[in-house]
Chain A
Amino acid sequence: MTNMTCATVQDLLPELATGRLGGGESESVESHLAGCSRCREALDVLTLLTASPPTEAPPELEARIQAAVRQELAMTGTRRAPAAHGARRGWHIPAPAWGLAAAAVLALVMGRTLLPGGEQEPELLALGQEDLPVLLADDGMVAGAPVFDGLSDDDLALLLEELER
């Protein structure tokens, strides 16, 4: 049996409180606890926490995730459409769309940069941060091509956020 410091003992208290600590270490920790009120107080907190079970996920969540995963697998190798998760929100932007979307954003940025300074711009809707140099025409068209057609504002905000990374 070794003498343990408070730091070592307190690191091991979650294992002690949940019965996951092995015999030898358990004895050393118990021995330390017998003479250390500070560590005993920390154990008291953990004992209270473990006496109340952690929150359970909603019962339907497991099946819901499995269904979404199944749908994802069914899409793999075929066409990956934005509405891959019809069971819930449709924000997923499939991998093949990234190249197209990135190209569209690049074209948009280039187009904006090339606009003459004094020229009247069409009505544009800024997305995300105010200083973001990317703008989207409010009819959802970019340079006349409906590349973002069908994507919600949330989807587009997410796309821009991903592109910034």
Chain B
Amino acid sequence: MNGDPHGREAPDDVLVQRARSGDEAALNRLVTRHHQTAYRVALGILGDPEQAADAAQDGFLRAVRALDSFRGDARFRTWLLTIVSNEARGLMRRAGRRRESGLEDESAVVDGAPAVDDVVAAKEEAGMARRFLARLPEKQRLAVQLRVDEGLSFKEVGEIIGSTEGAARVNYHHGIKRLREMMEP
């Protein structure tokens, strides 16, 4: 069972305890809860959906193997995402490439066809913000993504991107500033 008798979801630390004793259902629940974030973190580093899925899976497997060494002084999610981001960087290193962050099609995005109405225009603008986000340098991109989409603290962001809390904050603010500049008419 992954919740309490009142139907409340068991927190991660309880699931981790159960998983340590080989409870497959607890592990499945942790996968269900965190696979989306793990995938997005890997995608933020690799930029390739297939490789991101591989890195997310490898990260989970590595975490399962290392579960006994998880001391619980960090949140399980932060610990897992740190492992996934390391897997993604390792995958990128082994593939011998850096993620392309070129702006070659930026003008095509900016000069796109005019919107039919305000709703479409708003959607296009929102989509454009996402596309610009994907073009930020890795640490800025991850800092914005982890703060906004996943609601992580700067301390957690720092752990995942391999920097201090202060550096994570700086990366986040630089990222937002650059997005603002990119979106200026």
Residues of A within 8 A of B (CB): 10-11, 14-15, 17-18, 20, 41-42, 44-46, 48-52, 54-58, 61-62, 64-66, 68-70, 72-73, 76, 85, 88-89, 92, 95, 154, 157-158, 161
Contact = CB atoms under 8 A, between A and B. Distances in A.
Interface residues of B, number: 45
Interface string B19-35: 00010100110011001
B176 A48 contact: no
A161 B43 CA distance: 23
B53 interface: yes
B57 interface: yes
A73 to B, nearest CB: 6
B94 interface: yes
A6 to B, nearest CB: 10
28 contacts: A14-B148, A45-B129, A45-B176, A48-B126, A48-B129, A49-B133, A50-B148, A51-B123, A51-B126, A52-B127, A54-B130, A54-B149, A56-B36, A57-B36, A57-B40, A57-B53, A62-B35, A64-B57, A65-B57, A68-B57, A68-B61, A69-B27, A69-B28, A69-B31, A69-B60, A70-B24, A89-B54, A158-B94
Of A20, A44, A50, A62, most buried by chain B (CB within 10 Å of CB) is A62
Contacts of A42: 176-177, 180
